[in-house]
């Protein structure tokens, strides 16, 4: 059974020729992309052998294994061609940024679907600083946990961005109930950090700035 998170990742994909599923694990994205005729060919990559075996088994069961290439390795390294689209989901932003950094010269024509499990602001900052624009963001609440999915592509022009773009996001403001709930959750987290820092006489100017931005944004809903 495909989770809501995976379903939303798949929904953000465009019809394409080649798709890379980096860190494919169970292989749900790879298999569904072929089954739903979103991609003609998928490169399912994982740094660990066991997940690849699981993905391969699933693809055989679903009769799509002839259209998926299973590759063991780090990030984009084992893929020998430029792909149209790539999904990197279910890992920390730091790991996603490091995978993107290592592949920077070969993903300028690739649409990226990225779903970090934590430190979303780190990923937004990396994308903007490295010339990748954020086209879309989606907040998904699945089994009481929030996930943000980012769709991004490389731009030739320099990208200007603000703190708000990094900490709140440009497109979370799509006025969905889930988006609103997510902003409240960030506010709660930020308030906790603020309190903890205040107790310890630490500088809270960063948290104050973000809390003000959040208040302003929440007022608009």
Ligand X SMILES: C[S@@+](CC[C@H](N)C(=O)[O-])C[C@H]1O[C@@H](n2cnc3c(N)ncnc32)[C@H](O)[C@@H]1O
- Give the footprint of ligand X on this chain (CB under 6 A): 22-23, 25, 45-48, 51, 74-75, 89-91, 95, 99
Contact 144, 190 (CB under 8 A): no
**Closest distance of CB 192 from ligand X, Å:** 26
Q: Which is nearer to ligand X, 45 or 107 (CB)?
A: 45
Give whichever of 79 and 172 is closer to ligand X, judged by the CB atom. 79
Closest distance of CB 175 from ligand X, Å: 26
Assigned token pair, 125 = 């900052």
Closest distance to ligand X from the beta carbon of 51 (Å)? 4
Residues contacting residue 160 through CB under 8 Å, at least 6 positions apart: none
> With respect to ligand X, which residue has the nearer C-beta, 99 or 172?
99
Is the separation of the CB atoms in 105 and 39 below 8 Å?
no
Alpha-carbon 19 to chain mean position:
15
Q: Are 106 and 76 in contact (CB under 8 A)?
A: yes
Residue 66, classed as helix, strand or coil, is helix
Minimum CB–partner distance for residue 200 and ligand X (Å): 34
| Residue (90 or 169) nearer to ligand X, CB | 90
- In angstroms, rounded to a whole number, what is the distance separating the alpha carbons of residues 1 and 151? 24
């Amino acid at each position: 059974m495909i989770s809501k998170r995976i379903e939303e990742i798949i929904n953000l994909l465009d019809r394409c020729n080649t798709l890379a599923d980096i860190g494919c694990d169970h292989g749900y994205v790879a298999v569904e992309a072929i089954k739903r005729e979103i991609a003609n060919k998928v490169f399912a990559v994982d740094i660990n052998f066991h997940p690849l075996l699981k993905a391969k088994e699933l693809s055989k069961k679903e009769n799509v294994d002839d259209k998926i290439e299973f590759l063991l390795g780090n990030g984009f390294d084992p893929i020998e061609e430029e792909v149209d689209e790539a999904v990197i989901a279910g890992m920390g932003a730091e790991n996603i940024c490091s995978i993107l950094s290592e592949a920077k010269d070969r993903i300028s024509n690739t649409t990226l679907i990225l779903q970090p499990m934590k430190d979303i602001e780190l990923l937004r900052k990396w994308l903007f600083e490295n010339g990748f624009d954020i086209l879309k963001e989606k907040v998904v609440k699945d089994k009481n946990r929030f996930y943000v999915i980012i769709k991004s592509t490389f731009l030739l022009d320099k990208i200007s961005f603000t703190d708000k773009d990094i900490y709140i996001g440009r497109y979370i403001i799509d006025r969905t109930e889930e988006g609103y709930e997510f902003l409240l959750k960030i506010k709660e987290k930020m308030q906790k950090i603020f309190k903890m820092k205040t107790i310890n006489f630490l500088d809270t100017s960063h948290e104050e700035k973000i809390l003000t931005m959040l208040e302003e944004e929440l007022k608009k809903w």
